[in-house]
């Protein structure tokens, strides 16, 4: 039980993705730190407004794919060349390079298989997604039609809650609610 779990927060609820983004930009410009924005669908460019770093999941997918290619060739080389070189139709498998064209299809399939699945698992793991976990969105409407901006007061010690609410009132905010942080940091 950390102290942060009871941190007071302001939940600003918006109706529109573009209004949400504009409001986030105006608050960030005024030096307010926004903890999170829960959205029913992605708002393009909002990650840059909040200073969220670009994801590296596609880079890692490339390395998973390269691993897949390597493992596939290693398996084929071991099974069809090293351990037991098959002689099919008088065309024995002597070396990997000579037989490579026939090995491309399976190498390709395994590259895709390993890359896709390991990337999916990485995505689920890093995004904290697992069957049965509790969801963290503080307002259930944020998976329907509301964009919920979460501002933690502890993150913004230089300004008061009223200051933040004042700044929010200048945006196209629909509701401003007091809450507290529901999950551990």
By CB under 8 A, tell whether 28 contacts another protein. Answer: no
Rounded Cα distance between 28 and 49, Å, is 7
Quick count: other Cβ atoms within 10 Å of Cβ 129? 10
Rounded Cα distance between 61 and 120, Å, is 9
- Per-position x/- string for 105-144, each x denoting binding to another protein as judged by CB under 8 A, each - no binding: xx-xxx-xx-xxx-xx--xx-xxxxxxxxxxxx--xxxxx
Tell me the closest approach of the beta carbon of residue 142 to another protein, in angstroms.
Answer: 6
Token reading at 143 = 């998976």
Token reading at 110 = 């395994």
> Where is 151: in which H helix or E strand?
strand 147-152
Tell me the closest approach of the beta carbon of residue 8 to another protein, in angstroms.
Answer: 20
Q: Which is nearer to another protein, 77 or 165 (CB)?
A: 77
Rounded Cα distance between 107 and 70, Å, is 8
Q: Which is nearer to another protein, 56 or 166 (CB)?
A: 56
By CB under 8 A, tell whether 83 contacts another protein. Answer: yes
- In the DSSP assignment, the letter for residue 117 is H
How many chain residues interact with another protein (CB under 8 A)?
A: 65
Pure H helices in the chain:
17-29, 46-49, 57-76, 96-126, 161-169
Q: Which is nearer to another protein, 89 or 158 (CB)?
A: 89
Tell me the closest approach of the beta carbon of residue 31 to another protein, in angstroms.
Answer: 19
Residues that bind another protein (CB under 8 A): 16-18, 36-43, 46-47, 50, 52, 54-55, 57-58, 61, 65, 75-76, 79-80, 83-84, 86, 88, 93, 99, 102-103, 105-106, 108-110, 112-113, 115-117, 119-120, 123-124, 126-137, 140-145
């Amino acid at each position: 039980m950390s102290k942060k779990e009871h941190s007071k927060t302001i939940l600003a609820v918006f109706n529109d993705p573009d209004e949400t983004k504009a409001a986030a930009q105006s608050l960030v410009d005024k030096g307010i730190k926004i903890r999170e924005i829960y959205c029913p669908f992605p708002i393009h460019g909002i990650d840059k407004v909040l200073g969220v770093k670009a994801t590296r999941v596609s880079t890692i997918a490339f390395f998973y794919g390269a691993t897949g290619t390597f493992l596939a060739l290693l398996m084929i080389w071991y099974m069809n060349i090293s351990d037991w070189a098959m002689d099919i139709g008088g065309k024995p498998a002597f070396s990997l390079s000579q037989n490579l064209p026939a090995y491309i299809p399976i190498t390709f399939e395994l590259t895709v298989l390993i890359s896709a699945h390991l990337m999916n698992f990485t995505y689920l793991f890093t995004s904290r997604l697992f069957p049965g976990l509790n969801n963290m969105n503080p307002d259930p409407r944020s998976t329907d039609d509301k964009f919920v901006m979460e501002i933690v007061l502890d993150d913004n010690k230089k300004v008061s809650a009223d200051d933040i609410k004042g700044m929010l009132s200048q945006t196209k905010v629909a509701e401003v609610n007091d809450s507290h942080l529901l999950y551990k940091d």
